[in-house]
A and B are shown apart, each in its own frame.
Chain A
């Protein structure tokens, strides 16, 4: 448990609200999953527990999968909720390490990351709705996955981490 100050509590509430907001609008079982993910996200900030973050992201992923049947917009909204909530939680954990550190640079980094991530998602969504056909998308995906996997493998083979 860390020493809580006002800004940590505020960030914990914000991250939980961001995670649960769209699932709550969708309603039903999705809202329940959203509440669970929000609790896990807030817990990761308050207790500075990194393990809760992974679990919250996994729950968020399952929630997005469960929303697929509700249509594109709901699914994108739920995915964006999980993403924003996880980034805000990461901000909270960073601020909790040093209560005296200025918060503004960290807030700026987090907002930039959220903006870049959401912009990428919006761009892909727009392209997919406008021009993409399933065969083209599948080929692109396979290529991207192969290239990405190869890049990771090369990097981690050269510089193995933990």
Chain B
């Protein structure tokens, strides 16, 4: 419940001035007829200023769903309790992360004076992943014939989560060191499992079903199959949150980050589904680290962290700082998602690679996210910008970091397949 003090409409000052001025004129001239000039203004002022007391108002915002996917429509209501007899105009400031659908193109309502409790329904479209809030709710009340206005603004709305849309991924990346928990990755060790490892002569105690009859016939001696045990892997998703600009990130930068987050979330889900341990580290404007975990708790923590990071970057609520990435688990495969907007992230990746960490990079392409150039100067600036990205990418490739480029509409499976092949090549060449 808030107490709102009134303010005068601008007409009130002008009207009161004219009413008094014409009355004085009538006095000075001794012409009663001049009072007819003052009368309309005086009447409206008298009618309009009859109520100048503060009023009590309260409101509540409610979302029908707390979580939705990018592109989904989120419905909600704003409940307002006000003194009866006041016309209310309510508007919600736009914030990044969503757009108004109904009422559109902006959330604005004019609520008639009847009844003290009013409910305004709204629908917004979730545009980018993250934890978002509606903007400040501005309410203005006035009486139908009033010259006073009661205005209030409240920027304390509840948040709603927008989840990144999972990309279509089937390819599992092979973590370099397997863990002891059972999973689907093939260990370098030999033991119980499904994937063939080697043949060896039969020894007492071998199971009959492990006997390879064809090989036994060829070698004229019983041979048994040996298999790799299935083990889970450890994976850390490294997200580049460096953005352009010093305040709010540009739309392109936000879209690139959203694209990277979608890819990261897709890969995380895939690996969590097969009991891998998945962690998250972000570097740039928002810095955070989640230790690799498996299971539903890991999934929940990962999603919450991604949403928080997305919301903070979208709202421009964080500052650039560096974090020591060498604290990441030593045996974990690091998959970096970056648009390479900032050289510092590339430097971090190179440092990890030179320290012997298994690092892969998915470079998120920005070309389709940039607005078309309108003149030669812009085209030249765009080329210089692209050359900078290309140079950093070449630095990573020449250092031996497995790297694949990804545009949002491309199949992530293909990108991960390419990374997988590169990873093997790099390991063989060592």
Contact = CB atoms under 8 A, between A and B. Distances in A.
> Which of A99, A101, A112, A133 lies at the interface centre, i.e. has the most chain B CB atoms within 10 A of its CB?
A101
Interface residue SS majority, chain B: helix
B15 interface: yes
Contact of B31 (A117, A134, A161): A134
Nearest to A89: B11
Interface stretch (A7-15, A23-31, A46-54): A46-54
Interface string B16-38: 01101111011101111111111
Interface residue SS majority, chain A: helix
Nearest to B151: A162
Interface in A81-131: 82-83, 86-87, 90, 97-102, 105, 109, 112-113, 116-118, 120-125, 127-129
A160 B40 CA distance: 25
B35 A57 contact: no
Given A109-B144, A159-B52, A128 B27 contact: no
Q: How large is the interface on A (under 10, 10 to 19, 20 to 34, 35 or more residues)?
A: 35 or more
Contacts of B54: 159
Q: How large is the interface on B (under 10, 10 to 19, 20 to 34, 35 or more residues)?
A: 35 or more
Contacts, number: 157
B152 interface: no
B41 interface: yes
B44 A124 contact: no
> Which of A80, A87, A137 lies at the interface centre, i.e. has the most chain B CB atoms within 10 A of its CB?
A137
Interface of A: 50-51, 53-54, 56-58, 60-61, 64-65, 68, 72, 75-76, 79-80, 82-83, 86-87, 90, 97-102, 105, 109, 112-113, 116-118, 120-125, 127-129, 132-134, 136-138, 141-142, 144-145, 148, 152, 155-156, 159-162
Given A65-B25, A98-B110, 14 more contacts: A54-B14, A57-B17, A72-B33, A80-B40, A83-B41, A101-B109, A113-B47, A124-B38, A124-B39, A128-B31, A141-B23, A145-B20, A161-B148, A162-B7
